[in-house]
Amino acid sequence: MTRVANPSSPATDSTSPSPAPVFHDPRHHIKIYQGDCLEILSALPADCVDLIFADPPYFLSNGGITCHAGKMVSVNKGEWDRSRGAAENHEFNRAWLAACQRVLKPDGSIWVSGTSHVIHSVGFAMQQLGFKLLNDISWVKPNPPPNLSCRYFTHATETIIWAAKSKKSRHKFNYKLMKQINAGRQMKSVWTIPPPEPWEKKFGKHPAQKPLALLERILLASSSEGDLVLDPFLGSGTSALAAFRLSRRSIGIEAESISLDLTLQRLCSDLVQVGISIACIQFSLDLFPDPMDRSNNTNMSGPISAKLVRRERHYYFVGSSRREVIYSAPADSLEDAWAKFTSSAQSSAQIIFVIKTETEIYLNSGT
């Protein structure tokens, strides 16, 4: 599967910041932007977002070590996670929280996750900015990595602060649904949720990836179908994936190209459902037209000596609004296929995906 952007597609949404989104699915209302979250948030209209989930840098990349899968590994995640000192880190938190507060609707709310390295700064910045603190969720990890230094308790939790935009906000809370999910009992602020499952990392790993179950609970608790969810630090795209699965609209912002690629792979695997049908072509190699049983003369149990007799590469163009294949062509490369598409009668259509298939036919010459 190949992600493409139709070069003939103008930006039609007047609220879209510049640069244009690197991914836009108008049918499912998903927009992904690459860049600095402060710049992109400043271009969004005020009071437009129902819910924000943010997983900001924890400022943990200090050259230390941790344990992962039984091995000693570096804690360094990248330059974006390096501490600039307590004062500068706090000013950064104030800045992005203020930008998020501006785009939140009056009754909107925000969830921010973090460890002790950042979450106290986040909570203080929220108080300074006039947010209304609602809950602090303790996310318990059932099987945390051990503490290698043996000088501290094993870090087994993260804190998630839930806050409304202001003291006047009438925030949304789907209390009955949370009680139903919790077997008819009031849900507490301690959540035991495993880390991301192996299938959640099949396209790659992100050092700060959150489990899909955690994001789905957050969205179910404080938003409704059709609400707009924003993530200013998209990372591996878990919030956008949860929003899509729960029929919410979403905007994601991410600066790192590697993380964006991972996000788009995860999203596209859910967005594109391809049904492959195999046509059975009947042909005869017998000289005699009458059916005859020659099974005794055929040995299929021995080793196969295969000879490639045919190879074909095909590209299928999927429309943005009409989510189906609207054009297909055999071609040696995506560039050749795109050239064929642009010269076809369907060239004016908006394309969201191009799917490539390769077919090879082998002759078993060992029988």
What is the structure's pLDDT at 78? 58
What is the structure's pLDDT at 10? 32
CB–CB of 269/213 below 8 Å? no
What is the chain's pLDDT, residue by residue, as a tens digit (367 residues)?
333 333 333 333 444 445 789 999 888 899 999 999 999 999 999 999 999 999 999 876 565 545 455 555 545 555 656 778 889 999 999 999 999 999 999 999 999 999 888 999 999 999 999 999 999 999 998 887 777 678 888 888 999 999 999 999 999 999 999 999 999 999 999 999 998 888 888 888 777 889 999 999 999 999 999 999 999 999 999 999 999 999 999 999 999 999 999 999 888 888 765 433 333 344 444 444 454 444 444 444 556 667 777 788 989 998 877 778 888 889 989 999 999 999 998 888 888 888 888 888 777 766 5
- CATH 3.40.50.150 residue spans of the chain: 13-271
What is the structure's pLDDT at 181? 93
Whole-number Å distance between alpha carbons of 185 and 176: 10
Give the predicted TM-score (pTM) of the model.
Answer: 0.73
Three-state SS string over the chain comes to CEECCCCCCCCCCCCCCCCCCCEEECCCCEEEEECCHHHHHHHCCCCCEEEEEECCCCCCCCCCEEEECCEEEECCCCHHHCCCCHHHHHHHHHHHHHHHHHHEEEEEEEEEEECCCCHHHHHHHHHHHCCEEEEEEEEECCCCCCCCCCCCCCCCEEEEEEEECCCCCCCCCCHHHHHHHCCCCCCCCEEECCCCCHHHHCCCCCCCCCCHHHHHHHHHHHCCCCCEEEECCCCCCHHHHHHHHCCCEEEEEECCHHHHHHHHHHHHHHHCCCCCCCCCCCCCCCCCCCCCCCHHHCCCCCCCCEEEEEEEEEEEEEECCCCCEEEEEECCCHHHHHHHHHCCCCCCCCEEEEEEEEEEEEEECCC
CB–CB of 222/242 below 8 Å? no
CATH fold label, 13-271: Rossmann fold (3.40.50)
Single-letter amino acid code for the residue at 176: K
CB–CB of 247/29 below 8 Å? no
Tracing tokens 């870090």 back to the chain, one arrives at 155
